[in-house]
Amino acid sequence: MVQAAGVLSLLAAGLSFSGQASADTSACAAYGSVQPGVNPSFQHINCLLTEEALKQEIPPEVVKAIATQENGGWKQFDESGQAVVSDDGGIGLMQLTNQSQFKEELLKTDLAYNIEAGVTVLGQMYDSNVPKIAGAGRDVIENWYFPVMAYNGIKPVNSPIKQEDGEKNTAAYQEQVFAEIKASSFLNDRSFADFGFKTSDFQYDPEKTDNIVFKKMSYTPTGKLNQTAYNLQKGDQAVTLNTPALRSIPGGGPEAVIKTLPEGTLLTVTGPFQFDENPKSNRQFVWYPVRTADGKTGFVSSAYLEKSDKPAAPLFKDVSANHRFYNDIAALSSQGIISGYPDGTFKPGSQVTRGEAATMVVRALGLPTNGMKPIEVAKKQGIINGDRNGRLAETEPVTRAQVAIILTNAFNLKETVSISFTDVHSRMAAYDSIRRVVAAGIAYGDNNKFNPDKPVTRGELAAFLNRTLER
């Protein structure tokens, strides 16, 4: 339960963990709107807690564990639709108490406001005068040990060790929260670094309720520190902890298991994390889409992933991890939209034919071919046009102007922007399409030119198509 702690300085801008969307209700709109008096599904609240934690640059594992410690069922409202209020005045999901900086009525009626307020208070505790780990940042979970303690109160009852015998105080609030992190976010497969607490670190009278005085403000724990699992981004390398299952969907039962991955398997993250597809699931962790070294794709629980500094395994012989279009090629390859050649190369600098471009777009859209050539399917769908004589010119190179038309037709691009390329004019057939791909951030010019007649390479088309899919 959060006790009155005074108004502390608000969070300053700092490290961003994952580049996810801002933490507000719109970021979780796929679950529907948040209604007053109605508790959303567990996974909806999981999304709200995660997004708000990332917005305020706090490990979501910590925020979720606090929510569990404060309100085990993750309930904002009781059966009558009224806010859950504890005997000592704790309000709603985050159980805020005596917090004059927030509006009490909104803490009761607005779940998103309640979550934002609770996470804000936790961030304020981090910025307060509590001990920290030397050299560690906000992404290190252990560095939130004392801020979590402060969230509940820097009181003798929460001393990390017992004054009389130096034994660990497992009943302390922060110890229970960290036990929850280990159980629900780590699935008991990881341990926390040891602070090596001593009774001389803390001064207090166990018979009184005065705040603990910290005699030691900087720690260097022994053992490996744990970073949040939510800092993985597309293109990152991750290593498996324990032996997780590679699944075909985020979550799912035995039927979704593709294979079991050995401990220490190196994976490439191919996109942002996703929440459990089962809205009734009470699993707090998330799922990352990954690709194995042998090309298998699927999802792995964040509980079993850790960022790796090892270099990425070559995707293709001629596409290194620092290639300009590596992430785009990797993303499309993992989805089966593009493939390489039998000799293990991709040939990113080779020109793309109109037929090859049509094939990639048809695969990206998941259109059935039913025995037809992909370019014929694309023509039937109004994606690609022939010349004045009806020729599809399947083997001819596709140009940047033609790609603009293809992507505009295939993905129904609507938004336009003013352009001033010296080699593009309003009478061109591709004029409006070029305006649309530029507006969508799919293609750009160079030295005030768009180069509409320039043939597109395989690497460039991968970038154009992946940017389109990402938007």
Which of the four pLDDT bands, split at 50, 70 and 90, describes residue 25?
low
Radius of gyration of the chain (CA): 27
Indicate the average pLDDT of the chain. 89
Tell me the range of 99-113, 269-283, 307-321 where mean pLDDT is highest: 99-113
Cβ 99 vs Cβ 117: under 8 Å: yes
Distance CA 413, CA 415 (A): 6
- Residue 260 · residue 244 · CB < 8 Å: yes
At residue 231, the pLDDT reads: 93
* 118 touches 93 (CB < 8 A): yes
Q: Is the pLDDT of residue 22 over 90?
A: no
Average pLDDT rounded to a whole number, residues 216-222: 97
* Cβ-proximal residues to 30 (8 Å cutoff; 6+ apart), any chain: none
pLDDT bracket for residue 230 (50, 70, 90): very high
Token digits of residue 244: 């997780």
pTM of the model: 0.68
* 344 class by beta-carbon count within 10 Å (0-12 exposed, 13-18 middle, 19+ buried): exposed
Residues 6+ apart with CB under 8 A from 283: 184, 251, 276, 301
